A and B are shown apart, each in its own frame.
Chain A
Amino acid sequence: MTQASPPTIAPRDPNVVMRLARLGSFHQSRLSFMRQLLRRMAAEQWRFDVPAFEIDSAGVGHAVYTAHGPERAYSLVAFSHDLPPEQRSDRVIATAWDATFTLFDGIPTDADIARLRGNVPKQEAGRISDRELSLSRANRSVRLWNHVIDALSEGRQPDQSLVDTVGYLMRTTAVYGSGKFGAADREYTRHRPECAGPFQIEMLSVYLTRAFVMDLVEHMARARAPLTAVPLDPALRRRFGIGNSTGLGMAPFLINHPQLLNAWIAAREEALARVRSLPTGGAAEVEAFRTFVIRAQMHAQSWSSEHPLQVEKLDALRADMAALATHLSQADLTSDYPWNRLWLWAQDHLSMEGQEQLASLILEPHGTIVDQLASCMSAEEHTAWPIDGTMPVSDLRGIVEDVYGWALKIDWTDPAPCARVWYVSEAKLEPRLGQRFEEPLEAYEQPLGPGRDAARLHAALQDTEATTTAAFLLRRPEFRHIARRAQMAARLPYAEIRDNTLDARMLPIDMLRLKLSFFGACHFDPRSDRWLRINMYQHAPFPHELDRVTGDDWTLPPLPLAAE
């Protein structure tokens, strides 16, 4: 491994990075969690098998997909159902699904399967145990599902353009981990190397789900027409990802886990700073980068959405990619801090979509100085939350002015900046977003507006006679939450979203995209301002292909064969 020279260019200012519009323009990168998982499994030569596939011709039954790592095995237990169309909904209020899943810690016995069959199909209404690590479900994309079964059963390959338009045969909705509904807590597995990184269990569950779904569709085509059915062509097969529908529930996670948010963003920003600090560009890296740009251009072209905001962003991204290609046709990437020069050019010529796409792209050829940062992306969350009560009140005030300066400039007596209220609904116990001045919700408000809370804290600190944070908080306990956040953000520059999460114009999808980009998702397709669809693992090698893969080069669409 080559050693990076000490960075000469500092990571970006959190006041630039941590704005919602920019965070909502992030793209997947080498540091994304599904790429971390596949790199590990390929490097460690994980082995995969399917010890059970007991599914009838109507698609009802169960299957087990086992991933064998160096020390431990993990099994996706899949239950496949025959769902009436009128019950098919991706919303969290749904009560039945086309398929339901759990990731089992080890290899399940028949007794385990019987227990899980009584619970996993019920999802939130069932109960799993500390032998299980995740709980999830998926629904079919009906139009593509039917098309693929029709085609394969008649001995034809499905239409590639339809495959590319939809992108997946099933989309997961919730993927629950970390102790949800009785599953094992993260601390039970976090000391295992393969579980140490963020969301590795959930990413493995979804990766195996994709393999199951593809096997299922081929199985059902064979069941329909055993004499004529054909399997999918391997290259076309890889163009299927696994979809995901994600709603508001994911947004509060980022605010509730400031250390983790800091760890993710800091790793990416450090990676960007390292590459920008390289004095020269190596011939192989430059060549690889130019290819990645072409592939990213193809990705931007194939990314579709009907949502007006995303349509606008996609237009900008495509224009950005064209501008980047033109610029690269003449730009020298070999000398005089070429990546930094390119980066500075992008600041003046590309939209935020394009800038953040470029940030991910210039990391691509630099795995040797980037990938090691993946190990910095988890957080020991129990260590950093105590409040330093001995801190003088004047210091706390200084921190608030530094971290939340943007919030102190807002007139909080105006209704628009605090128009929204985050709350949890009685019915599904899920986070929701309401209108503060139109619905009686304020009494149920969740602490998800740090900017407003910091402004209130700042005002209270001006008036207090207390000299230490502890004395102040003993009298004003309502500020403990924000005082802790402020102290944490003073140590961890990217811990806090530096934007107003209560504003009338705030877009929750920006928070969702931030998180999903770190997962490694592509094709963000907002369906409203607060839920969206994505594609995961599109173009990824399947488990049985992992040993043939060299490098970590699967995410962007492959070049057409003739151009390779």
Chain B
Amino acid sequence: MDWSLNEIEGLARKAVRGAGYGWGHAEEAGKATRWICAAGWPGAELLADLLTRLDGVAYDDIRPESCTGPWRARLGTLCPLITGAAICDLAPRWASGETLQLGAVAAPLFLVPYMVWSADRTGVPLMLEWPGLKIIRGAGQTGIHLPDPATLSLAQVEGATLTPATSVTGLPLIRAYRAHVSADPAARLQQLAHRTYAPETEESRRAGAGAGLSDND
């Protein structure tokens, strides 16, 4: 189906919250999913797969254990939503020339929007790469080196690197205004989003929205 980006962002935010993340991470993941879909990439599909794989996993097992040295997760695989947010929080460090080495990370494409926001925040171009993909952001432009499009949908890579870049090279990214999401991942995200909705009772229906005087006048 053809979705507006607002719908995708809202669905992703709720799904991430429904999967047990805090509202802050959920808000950022919603924007990240929107960004990926606006790049014409399979953001909703990747998110549905990621959240399914991580459902029930403890937060402390998939976050960077520490923000010094190479970032690794206690359980082995970093969650890109948590890792991406931490990358963005620390944007001035990457702008000052520091290189970030990441250990194994799930759905690495989800790191891209956070890298983009980091570069935009400081104005210093950054490059994110893992085997098969290199993506550079600077001056509001995104350049891609992507020999194999299958790399976009990787469920996991064993490592990724974030470094300062000098200039934006590669194919320029063209933005899209709609997202095309197939039925299964959309249903999976809706299932997760559903966890954030309070079950309806007749009492809550009446009281919650504030019935009052008649409106048939």
Contacts and interface: CB of A to CB of B under 8 A. Distances in A.
A49 interface: no
Contact of A474 (B27, B86, B198, B204): B86
- Most A CB within 10 A of own CB, among B63, B120, B194, B197: B197
Interface in A118-168: 129-130, 139, 141-143
Contacts of B28: 385, 480
A432 interface: yes
B90 interface: yes
Given A427-B200, A439-B204, A531 B22 contact: no
B24 A477 contact: yes
User: What 7 A-B pairs are tightest by C-beta distance, nearest first?
Assistant: A480-B24, A389-B89, A179-B6, A179-B4, A528-B212, A530-B210, A432-B208
B178 A130 contact: yes
Contact of B63 (A383, A474, A478): A474
Given A248-B210, A383-B120, A386-B121, 4 more contacts: A185-B177, A389-B90, A424-B197, A444-B198
Given A184-B177, A185-B5, A444-B197, A141 B217 contact: yes
Contact of A188 (B91, B120, B177): B177
Interface string B90-134: 111100000000000000000000000110110000000000000
Interface in A183-209: 183-188
B180 interface: no
Contacts of A424: 196-198
Contact of B64 (A248, A469, A474): A474
Given A85-B216, A389-B86, A425 B2 contact: no
A552 interface: no
A356 interface: no
Contacts of B177: 130, 184-185, 187-188
B207 A480 contact: no
Contacts of B91: 386, 389
Given A426-B194, A481-B23, A434 B89 contact: no
B50 to A, nearest CB: 17
A130 B215 CA distance: 33
Interface stretch (A74-82, A89-97, A401-409, A515-523): A89-97
A474 B118 CA distance: 17
Interface residues of A, number: 69
B90 A247 contact: no
B82 A386 contact: no
Contact of B90 (A129, A390, A423): A390
Interface in B1-47: 2-7, 21-25, 27-28, 31
21 contacts: A130-B177, A143-B217, A180-B7, A187-B5, A248-B208, A248-B209, A382-B31, A386-B88, A390-B92, A423-B208, A427-B205, A429-B197, A432-B209, A434-B204, A474-B67, A474-B86, A477-B82, A480-B25, A480-B85, A527-B212, A528-B212
Nearest to B118: A386
Interface string B125-154: 000000000000000000000000000000
A126 B119 CA distance: 40
A387 B88 contact: yes
Interface in A441-495: 441, 444, 447, 469-471, 473-474, 477-484
A244 B24 CA distance: 33
A182 interface: yes
A477 B4 contact: no
Interface in B173-197: 177-178, 194, 196-197
Contacts of A355: none
Given A130-B178, A433-B208, A473-B89, A179 B200 contact: no
A429 B190 CA distance: 12
Contact of A426 (B64, B118, B198): B198
B7 A182 contact: yes
Chain B interface residue number, banded: 35 or more
A443 to B, nearest CB: 8
Nearest to A139: B215
Given A387-B89, A441-B198, A477-B21, A425 B212 contact: no
A423 B208 CA distance: 9
Nearest to B212: A528
B175 to A, nearest CB: 9
A245 B199 CA distance: 25
Contacts of A531: 209-210, 212
Contacts of B209: 91-93, 247-248, 430, 432, 530-531
Nearest to B200: A427
Contacts of B59: 477
B216 A89 contact: yes
A423 B198 contact: yes
A178 B24 contact: no
B216 A88 contact: yes
A386 B22 contact: no
A434 B198 CA distance: 10
Contacts of A387: 24, 85, 88-89
B200 A388 contact: no
A185 B198 CA distance: 28
Given A180-B6, A444-B197, A306 B89 contact: no
Contacts of A503: none
Nearest to B59: A477
Contacts of B194: 426
A529 interface: yes
A142 B197 contact: no
A178 B91 CA distance: 30
Contact of B4 (A130, A432, A484): A130
Contacts of B5: 179, 185, 187
Given A141-B217, A182-B3, A434 B212 contact: no
Contacts of A389: 86, 88-91
B215 A388 contact: no
Contacts of B86: 389, 470, 474
B129 to A, nearest CB: 22
A435 B24 CA distance: 24
Contact of A129 (B2, B25, B85): B2
